[in-house]
Amino acid sequence: MFKDITLGQYYKTDSVIHMLDPRVKLAGTLIYIITLFLGKSFFMFIPAAVFLVSMIILSKVPVSYVLRGIKPIIPLIIISSVFNLILTPGNVLVGFWIINITSEGIYMAVFMIVRLLLLITGASILTLTTTPTKLTDGMEMGLRFLKVFKVPVHEIAMMMSIALRFIPILVEETDKIKKAQMARGADFESGNIFKRAKAMIPLLVPLFVSAFRRAGDLAMAMEARCYHGSEGRTRMKPLIYARRDYIAYAIVLGYLGLMIVMAVFGV
């Protein structure tokens, strides 16, 4: 179970998209998301959809995996489309009590659904093809310029990787402690919400104790190896752009240009 959490949604296979530098993928995803908000007409979604589908095909990730990422946001989609449906003023089609469904409302609702679907699917392509470690690496390198403004970019990235690293450990630990307390007759499943919350104490106290212990141990181990933050620190696997990364940038910029032109001419 915890294997899923470690890798996020990462789908392991070898494709061009998997091999791209994480910085390219981060920038590409950001640009893609921005373009979804450039226009107000459905025509804008055609190049976006073409772009997205080509990425999916290139990434070799099975469509079923890609669609899985949509599942958790279905409630969000439903809520936002209901609001759009009933709160958009305009030409009333059906009206009863205080609820008016307008043709503009229907248009807006469908428009938002398409936009959200494109957005989430695009974002999940990023996480499906990039491991969390590479993502944090990419973010650290990509945001390095913020150091000028005294933002501790390296430290933040290190915290993120450590947090990610600890998730599976803590999940495993939770499972162990839970079982140990169940062996002592603890009951986590029955009772009302208050009883259940109280039943969590025997689980949470040892979990926190061990989390702090591990954090202390890790800090000690890092200091013992002379870790001292980003100053003068080099990387074992430095991120270096390859030719394919420049080509990818060119494609993304081409796509961005097309979308801007379409938005400007109001297609």
Does position 90 interact with another protein (CB under 8 A)? The reply is no
Does position 101 interact with another protein (CB under 8 A)? The reply is no
Strand partners, 94: 101
Does position 206 interact with another protein (CB under 8 A)? The reply is yes
Site for another protein in 118-177 (CB under 8 A): 173, 176-177
Q: Shortest gap between Cβ of 175 and another protein (angstroms)?
A: 10
Does position 195 interact with another protein (CB under 8 A)? The reply is no
Structure tokens at 140: 């650290």
Does position 184 interact with another protein (CB under 8 A)? The reply is yes
Does position 215 interact with another protein (CB under 8 A)? The reply is no
The count of residues interacting with another protein (CB under 8 A) is: 20
Nearest residue (CB) to another protein, 131 versus 210: 210
Q: Shortest gap between Cβ of 2 and another protein (angstroms)?
A: 10
Give the range of 69-77, 152-160, 204-212, 236-244 binding another protein by CB under 8 A.
204-212
Q: Shortest gap between Cβ of 150 and another protein (angstroms)?
A: 39
Question: Position of tokens 């450590």?
Answer: 162
Of 5, 53, 159, 201, the one binding another protein by CB under 8 A: 201
Contact status, residue 35 vs residue 48, Cβ threshold 8 Å: yes
Contact status, residue 213 vs residue 220, Cβ threshold 8 Å: no
Label residue 257 exposed, middle or buried (CB < 10 Å: 0-12, 13-18, 19+): exposed
Does position 185 interact with another protein (CB under 8 A)? The reply is yes
Does position 238 interact with another protein (CB under 8 A)? The reply is no
Does position 181 interact with another protein (CB under 8 A)? The reply is yes
Buried b vs exposed e over 118-132: b needs ≥16 C-beta within 10 Å? Answer: bbbbbebbbbbbbbb
> Footprint of another protein on this chain (CB under 8 A)?
1, 3, 173, 176-177, 179-187, 201-202, 205-206, 209-210
